[in-house]
Structure 1
């Protein structure tokens, strides 16, 4: 044993010098592929410097961003097995040299901004299995050469601008299982030749410009489970009778395709779960064919179907949606439709028979609480009051998919003290531990979208989904996750319909650790990124949208599957040492290599981020460290104008003479990493006169800096707390309130997508030289959810509580439900500050409680800020009433931002012209307090199209800089 160990050690020491001295390293990347990668890089634009591709270093050994390799023992080279470049905000075009990566199995450019056409040379990559180009700006037609990829299994091109016909050469893709090409501009006939694709399971071609007829030959595809062709134009075509022979079909969706004729006999498709033939010109009766008892959805709306409603619908025990509205159906409504449904607390059935010729209801009239039945527009509603069915004959009161939430299921199963879980590090309680323990852990987030689910309501299938995912996702080899380790944090139905969801994965319950290891996070991420999760009949295929790796996972490279090879010299050393210890020597060499390249690896881990914080930053300049160093005289203390938890703020002058404010993160810590990227992402696409403008950023040399326009009059907090020689009049205060409100209204209603600021406070409302208020600091902002289209409910985001004490919405604080009205509450506190001069919380006094007490006792004017001077009592009353409504504890009692702006405009119109134009404005940086600056009259919010949406920052609105109050305190 000792002799063997000695031989192993001798071999190791013999190997190392040979490894480092060998001029031709065994395990280097194939030189032809290195050249191809460099050509690919030259065609790409990487504005945020996500690609760490150092041309002086080997791509595979030094882990170039997204380059995943394997060692080929035959030729001794490393070869590119995968390019995984999803969500890096890359633009540019795809290089023809991609075709030289002939060993590549997966090509992934998902969710970027790639334009141009698909190079025909990709058709030379015979090893290619996954071609993933969704969510870009690719145009042009598909090259015929792509039809000669013998190993391709997934063809994913949706959400681009690809036009032209589908090549008939695609009939050669004998292994392809997924055609995901929806939401493009494909035109022409669907090639009948595709019927040869016996492995094809999913055909998603909805939302294109396809025409011609529906090929009957498609019925020959033996494995087809989803055929989704909605929103094309097959004018004059019928649904072939042969489609009734697609015995494995789970979903048939042909909505709005200009189809004619009758519905074919589908009784042989015993597993059909989802049928949508709506918005066509189909005629005849609805067949009494037997349907699967597991069918969830039947949508036949907007046709010319006649006859009666089949009685066999009563056997659909899993029915969720039955839409037969806007047809010519007659006879009676069979009440037994809902009598055999398996009702649970999560079951909701939506039945729409509106606008037909139904005259009666057969059987027991009582409709269960879980069932929505709509009959408006039928003769049966003529005498609705006599039949006691008035509620069934009223206006459309059905539920839309977008209204489904997880509120009922996402309630915590136990009460845990919130202060015991350090949410600031992105920890949270594991919500679904079976023993109801309060286990605080750091989750890893995955954004998914179910592309074509065979359901219309997710809640009844929540447990089934949890089991499906945890069974197929491993954090450690051969060890599936426990069910409690998965938490579906949110869902949202999108057009299609498609189901967007956000998943949280928690580490296994343990007394030793409450975080995943790096390898575990990478294993979970790789499972989704490589699309190795098998298909599901109910949930269908999925999109990978993003990863959320916060807190302890923020530096994990997601995912990294590459491994380094060995030099020929090292291999010779191993043979010389001992063949019996080859594996030991290999391991030793790899460890040595890793140590040798530690500096480069640290750089990769630190800087490389595949999907961390995707951004789009049009019109925002990337400054070099030297640019900002010069602007601030080497960050001289004489230029420092503020300091906060994030770092320091400096006043700087750029090379073109523009004065700016530079917020610099604490060196070496980068504590505000997420906030840094979030603020850039938000401000880069927000353009409004009442939002602080982002001039640029710097992200290099261990530095993160944000460059803003300079705001010479500081923050509202500074304005209210300073002692001025001149009073701050009511007109000025109202003007500030109206400016800030317009900025927030823009965020809530005009930004695309809408945004919840989440940290509205006096420190984050800044004032330019004319006292125009601008909202700043978007570091913790969130995209707003989609609200109820009828305005009956307010959509929310379930998230950890963030914000500033005294300004945080109490309902958000208690329930973790963030809404747009959370901003309204915070703004209401700002209004109270403007009126009273008080701080939100000071010496145990709460501003809301103080104002309410004074108001109820009839002493409202006793708490008005004395520095306001003379003021119109009626205007102050109205402003106070609005502030109190905004700061109500109950979300439902608060106004929307549009109402806030309207009321402030009404109050403003009551003021004398001199007050309304705010001629009393003072500039706190001027030595003469009597100096006044005229301002243009206020523009109504109803004129947003001409003033606010244009982002016009000309003339006096172009003010350089922001002051130290951009710093969170």
Structure 2
């Protein structure tokens, strides 16, 4: 996770190739390096800006006049100039292409063009920015291959190019990115074999390559990645490939998702992975019996559906305390259904267990047919359902339960407390305040049902943002394809019961601090929730204009066309 560096300019100078640094001893007024000003103008020239978000890019000096989305180091380097530290131009409805001149911003740490409509290729010149730590290009229309030169970014912490139209192979040079923790390359058209050289990446934590055109075999060397937590390769075509048995040695793995990959062979024994939370091997051609040992006590989801598995249901699927969903539907499993699957479980009021066993060759239930509260068992399409006394198991399928929720924070205990829009009651008290609205998405959560973890998530997010629990309202959440969990969050100013001077608004410095936490990935990953996407931030009317005007201009890189005045 990217953290702002306490080091400042000595380390930066080591990697910046700024021509102006040669002008030692020359006294300058503190302004932006003229070479970088020319680069910014070239970048703007290559873009189409229909909303005129970059209209102030021809007014004054980029660093001192606060050009939209341009963030500079807060003091000059030894050459006497200010230098661009970050380009944050997400969510601005930009079109056009990325200028090769980007590679001349040689001191830059963050390059963010996420959630625009930029087309063309990724310039190979970006590989010249040796200081770059965050390369964020998700959600555009970028095409063409990934440049080999990106493998030169030895300080890169995160590369996000997901939801584009990138094609061609994965460069072997990416094996040089030994500081990179996050590879988010899903939902593109990347093809060819996954380079086994990627197994040399010592700090890789998340590898998302799902929804591409990858083929060949699964590198068994991935088991050598010492810090890998999430591996998602869904919806590729590894036709005829077996899942390497060595994947059972991934000691830190939390999530393994290989859905719809045309895989064959047996289900590997993953019982040696001590903290595995989520396993999805559905929609393949896996065969043979399920010879898994006892999986991790932290497992929430097991999906082996839509394969050609045979044999009996292992009793090792019972006694898993966190299990929310077991799906082994649409196989050729036979024999009896062990009632211990639902009898050996204790659920509280917020927990559910769904057992999807339909469309197999199961003939009887071994044990009690009494189903505990909050447990659903589906057996439709098995011979056992020819017995007319099993309506609890063989009734009409309801379909997948949609784990989603919408709520309001208006309390029935204060009906007379009418808050005029855009004011709202705080989640737990009758006090009118104006929230910040955040559209947030868990990209790879380690669960199937959010209900039991909602309060844990609230504690995690508020503590990460240094807020109180009462300042957060999860207005709604819904599952999206992936599966990913999208949320609408409301953040409220702090309220203290004994304080007669509670503010109805965040002050400007607090808004800036909170937005900075989200946009710089300062919120630490938590194993259960995985990485997040920031999709949209909305400021309501009282935060627009006046003392907040400069703040709005500085954060237009986030709001862009999604800025809403209400």
TM-score (structure 1 length as normaliser) = 0.54
Cα offset, 1:410, TM superposition: 5.8
- The alignment status of 1:406 with 2:405, answered yes or no, reads yes
Provide the secondary structure at the position in 1 that maps to 2:326: strand
Cα offset, 1:609, TM superposition: 3.2
Contact preservation (8 Å) 1:228, 1:252? yes
Determine the C-alpha separation between the residues in 2 that align with 1:81 and 1:313.
52
1:239 aligns with: 243
Determine the C-alpha separation between the residues in 2 that align with 1:329 and 1:287.
13
- The alignment status of 1:428 with 2:424, answered yes or no, reads yes
* 1:647-726 matched pairs, under 5 angstroms: 674=565
Cα offset, 1:368, TM superposition: 2.2
1:40 aligns with: 43
Provide the secondary structure at the position in 1 that maps to 2:470: helix
Contact preservation (8 Å) 2:27, 2:80? no
Determine the C-alpha separation between the residues in 2 that align with 1:114 and 1:346.
44
1:609 aligns with: 556
- The alignment status of 1:74 with 2:78, answered yes or no, reads yes
2:414 aligns with: 416
Determine the C-alpha separation between the residues in 1 that align with 2:458 and 2:555.
31
Q: Measured at CA, do residues 260 and 606 of structure 1 come closer, stay the same or move farther in structure 2, by a change above 3 Å?
A: closer
Cα offset, 1:24, TM superposition: 5.9
Cα offset, 1:72, TM superposition: 3.4
Determine the C-alpha separation between the residues in 2 that align with 1:137 and 1:165.
18
Q: Measured at CA, do residues 604 and 320 of structure 1 come closer, stay the same or move farther in structure 2, by a change above 3 Å?
A: closer
Determine the C-alpha separation between the residues in 2 that align with 1:413 and 1:291.
43
> Which string of whole-angstrom CA distances, capped at 9 and with x for unpartnered residues, describes residues 96-128 of structure 1?
110011111110001000000000000000111
Determine the C-alpha separation between the residues in 2 that align with 1:276 and 1:106.
34
Provide the secondary structure at the position in 2 that maps to 1:481: coil
Q: Which runs of 5+ in 2 are unaligned?
A: 1-25
Contact preservation (8 Å) 1:449, 1:544? yes
Determine the C-alpha separation between the residues in 2 that align with 1:340 and 1:78.
65
* 1:217-616 matched pairs, under 5 angstroms: 217-383=221-387, 385=388, 388-400=389-401, 403-407=402-406, 414-417=412-415, 420-423=418-421, 426-431=422-427, 433=428, 437-473=429-465, 480-510=466-496, 511-512=500-501, 513-555=503-545, 609-612=556-559, 614=561
Provide the secondary structure at the position in 1 that maps to 2:183: strand
Cα offset, 1:502, TM superposition: 1.1
Provide the secondary structure at the position in 2 that maps to 1:469: helix
TM-score (structure 2 length as normaliser) = 0.91
Provide the secondary structure at the position in 2 that maps to 1:504: strand
Determine the C-alpha separation between the residues in 2 that align with 1:523 and 1:535.
19
Cα offset, 1:483, TM superposition: 1.1
1:190 aligns with: 194
Contact preservation (8 Å) 1:128, 1:151? yes
Cα offset, 1:674, TM superposition: 3.1
Determine the C-alpha separation between the residues in 1 that align with 2:399 and 2:530.
26
Q: Measured at CA, do residues 299 and 117 of structure 1 come closer, stay the same or move farther in structure 2, by a change above 3 Å?
A: same
Provide the secondary structure at the position in 1 that maps to 2:362: strand
Provide the secondary structure at the position in 2 that maps to 1:78: coil
Cα offset, 1:505, TM superposition: 0.8
Determine the C-alpha separation between the residues in 2 that align with 1:81 and 1:373.
55
2:159 aligns with: 155
Determine the C-alpha separation between the residues in 2 that align with 1:481 and 1:36.
39
Cα offset, 1:556, TM superposition: 8.7
> RMSD of the alignment, in Å?
2.0
Contact preservation (8 Å) 1:548, 1:612? yes
Q: Measured at CA, do residues 207 and 394 of structure 1 come closer, stay the same or move farther in structure 2, by a change above 3 Å?
A: same
Q: Measured at CA, do residues 606 and 530 of structure 1 come closer, stay the same or move farther in structure 2, by a change above 3 Å?
A: closer
Provide the secondary structure at the position in 2 that maps to 1:54: helix
Cα offset, 1:73, TM superposition: 3.8
> Which string of whole-angstrom CA distances, capped at 9 and with x for unpartnered residues, describes residues 31-50 of structure 1?
11111111101001100111
Give 1:91's match in structure 2, choosing from 87, 90, 95.
Answer: 95
Contact preservation (8 Å) 1:613, 1:674? no
Provide the secondary structure at the position in 1 that maps to 2:534: strand
Determine the C-alpha separation between the residues in 2 that align with 1:530 and 1:47.
26
Cα offset, 1:604, TM superposition: 8.4
Determine the C-alpha separation between the residues in 2 that align with 1:58 and 1:381.
75
Contact preservation (8 Å) 1:557, 1:610? no
Q: Measured at CA, do residues 469 and 316 of structure 1 come closer, stay the same or move farther in structure 2, by a change above 3 Å?
A: same
> Which string of whole-angstrom CA distances, capped at 9 and with x for unpartnered residues, describes residues 415-468 of structure 1?
213553122xx110111x3xxx31211111111111111111111100110111
Contact preservation (8 Å) 1:306, 1:328? yes
Contact preservation (8 Å) 1:267, 1:291? yes
Task: Answer with 1 or 2: which has the greater Rg.
Answer: 1
Provide the secondary structure at the position in 1 that maps to 2:246: helix
**Which stretch shows the higher mean deviation, 223-232 or 329-338?**
329-338
Give 2:64's match in structure 1, choosing from 51, 61, 65.
Answer: 61
Cα offset, 1:338, TM superposition: 2.6
Determine the C-alpha separation between the residues in 2 that align with 1:84 and 1:557.
22
Q: In proportion to residue count, which structure has more helix?
A: 1
Q: Which runs of 5+ in 1 are unaligned?
A: 1-22, 474-479, 559-601, 617-672, 676-969
Q: Measured at CA, do residues 92 and 612 of structure 1 come closer, stay the same or move farther in structure 2, by a change above 3 Å?
A: same
Provide the secondary structure at the position in 1 that maps to 2:57: coil
> Which string of whole-angstrom CA distances, capped at 9 and with x for unpartnered residues, describes residues 314-351 of structure 1?
11111111100011111111122233434222212221
Determine the C-alpha separation between the residues in 2 that align with 1:607 and 1:122.
24
2:32 aligns with: 29
Cα offset, 1:411, TM superposition: 6.8
Provide the secondary structure at the position in 1 that maps to 2:561: coil
Determine the C-alpha separation between the residues in 2 that align with 1:309 and 1:348.
21
Cα offset, 1:54, TM superposition: 3.4
Q: Measured at CA, do residues 342 and 466 of structure 1 come closer, stay the same or move farther in structure 2, by a change above 3 Å?
A: farther
Provide the secondary structure at the position in 2 that maps to 1:520: helix
Q: Measured at CA, do residues 301 and 607 of structure 1 come closer, stay the same or move farther in structure 2, by a change above 3 Å?
A: closer
Determine the C-alpha separation between the residues in 2 that align with 1:167 and 1:557.
48
Matched positions, count: 536
Determine the C-alpha separation between the residues in 2 that align with 1:66 and 1:250.
36
